[in-house]
Amino acid sequence: MDNFQLDPEEQEILASYEAGEWRPVADSKGKKERYQTYAQATFKKDRRINIRISSKDLEKLQTKALEEGLPYQTLISSILHKYVAGSLVENS
């Protein structure tokens, strides 16, 4: 661990772990499988839509997607999902 610095939050987590404060999660395999199923169902793309948007907006979306390393359709789908889930936050 001498090769890198831990930030204060990481130091707190490490101290907690070393003090033996961490306990295994009961039935972690079952919980992991259940949450994987939830995630797969959430992101299952089983419907298709067609929308019309301005060329400028599409170009900006494609540029943002390129910056993120995503296909632009995936970016649009992610934005829509975040909006309907209530986790899309407007910049003020």
- In a domain, residue 74? The reply is yes
pTM: 0.52
- In a domain, residue 58? The reply is yes
**Phi, psi for 38 (deg, rounded to 5):** -60, -45
- In a domain, residue 57? The reply is yes
pLDDT tens, residue by residue, 22-77: 988 888 888 888 888 877 777 777 888 999 999 999 999 999 999 988 889 988 98
- The total domain count for the chain is 1
- In a domain, residue 70? The reply is yes
- In a domain, residue 90? The reply is no
Find the helix packing angle between 55-68 and 72-85, rounded to 10°. Answer: 90
> What residue numbers bound the domain in which 76 lies?
8-85
pLDDT tens, residue by residue, 47-58: 889 999 999 999
- In a domain, residue 14? The reply is yes
- In a domain, residue 47? The reply is yes
